[in-house]
Amino acid sequence: MSTARFLPDRVETAAELAPRLGVSEDWIVSRTGVLRRHVSSESMARMGARAAEQALGDGPRPDLIINASGVPHQVLPDSSVFISKELGFSGLPSFSIHATCLSFPVAVHNAASLIQAGAYRRILVVSSELATRGRNFDEPESAALFGDGAGAAVLEPTPEGEPSAILGFEMATWPSGAELTEVRGGGTRQHPQDPTTVPWHNLFHMNGPAAYKMALRRAPGPLSRLFARCKVRPEEVQVVVPHQASGPGVAAATRFGFRAEAVVNRVSEEGNCVAASIPMALAYASEQGRLRRGDLVLLCGTGAGLSVLALLMRW
C-alpha cells in the first residue's frame, strides 16, 4: 500500500483562533491538544487529488477510485466524481464509502476484498476534509478541534512471497450515540430549504465529554475481539494509527496495552481532520520510515455513530 498526505499551506494557530472562540490559547491547548491546524482555500476534491497524485506516483492509473470522506463536496454526484475530475481521469469507475471518521479503514477493507475477488488490481482510496468550514464558533470545544487535509492510499495485490495482508477487521456501531457527534443538516432530516433548519444544524456539533465517555466504554469490545481472533497481543503492534479525534482521544489509545512509542500522534500539529486523519497519520508514519515490510500496523478509532473500528494489517 502506497500512501500520501496533503496539507494546505495556511496554518492557523491556537493563539489566532482563540479570540474567535472567546477563549484563551491555553484553554484550547489544554482541552484539545491542538496547537495549530491547516486551513484550505481549495475544494476537498482538489486537496484529495493532490494527495492522490503523490500516492499514485509514476505508476499506472488506478482501475477504481473510492472516496472515503466524512463530509461531501456536494450531495449528488458523490465526491469520488469530483476527485476523479481533478485528477484528469475519464471513464474510471468511482464511488464513495462513508463511515464518518472511520471511512478510510472501511474503504481499505472493502478495497482489499474487491482485489481478493479479482474485481480490481489497483484501487485508489482518498479521504479529504474541509473540516474548518463546518466549525461552530458558538461551540468552542468542538470548533477548536478541526483542521483541513487529505490522505490517500493505493492498494494492489500482494506480490508473490511478500507477507502483506489484512489480518483482521472489527467494527461496531451503537446508534444510541448518533447525536453525540453530528452534522444534522445537509440531507433530508433538516433540509437546507426547510424553514425549521437553523445554522447549527449545518455545523459540527459534539458533546465531547459524553462521546469520550461512550468511546472509552465501547472501544475494548471490538479491540479485544480483533486481538483474540488474530492471536496478537497489543504490545506486539509496531505502529498504531488512531483516529486523531483530540489530544485526550489519542492519549487514551495507550490504555489498551499498546507501546506508547507505537502510537502515531499528529493532533497537536493538524487537529482532527475527520476521515482524513487516519490516512494522513499513516502517510506521516510512512514518511518517517516507521512502516517496515512485515510489521503489524493497526488502524483504529471511534467515530460519529458512535462507531468503533480496528483494522490489523501485516505491512
Question: Which residues are part of the catalytic machinery?
Answer: 101, 243, 272
Residue 243's nearest CA partner among 101, 34, 109 is 101
Site string for its own copies, 175-194 (x = CB under 8 A): xx-x--xxxxxxxxxxxxx-
CA distance 100 to 217: 19
Closer residue to its own copies in complex, CB, 141/263: 141
> How many residues sit close enough to its own copies to count as binding (CB under 8 A)?
76
CA distance 32 to 25: 11
Asked if 41 interacts with its own copies (CB under 8 A), we say no
Closer residue to its own copies in complex, CB, 27/200: 200
Collapse the DSSP code of 115 into the 3-class scheme (helix H, G, I; strand E, B; otherwise coil) and give the result.
helix
> Which positions from 225 through 264 interact with its own copies, judged by CB under 8 A?
none
Asked if 169 interacts with its own copies (CB under 8 A), we say yes
> Which positions from 116 through 145 interact with its own copies, judged by CB under 8 A?
116-117, 119, 130, 133-134
* H or E segment and range at residue 152: strand 148-155
Collapse the DSSP code of 311 into the 3-class scheme (helix H, G, I; strand E, B; otherwise coil) and give the result.
strand
For residue 309, what are the CA distances in angstroms to 11, 114, 117, 120, 240? 30, 20, 23, 25, 13
Kindly report the backbone phi and psi dihedral angles of residue 205, in degrees, each rounded to the nearest multiple of 5, phi listed first: -125, 135
Interface with its own copies (CB under 8 A), residue from 239, 304, 311, 313: 304
Asked if 199 interacts with its own copies (CB under 8 A), we say yes
Closer residue to its own copies in complex, CB, 27/89: 89
> Which positions from 79 through 108 interact with its own copies, judged by CB under 8 A?
79-82, 84-85, 89-100, 103, 106
> Which positions from 4 through 33 interact with its own copies, judged by CB under 8 A?
none
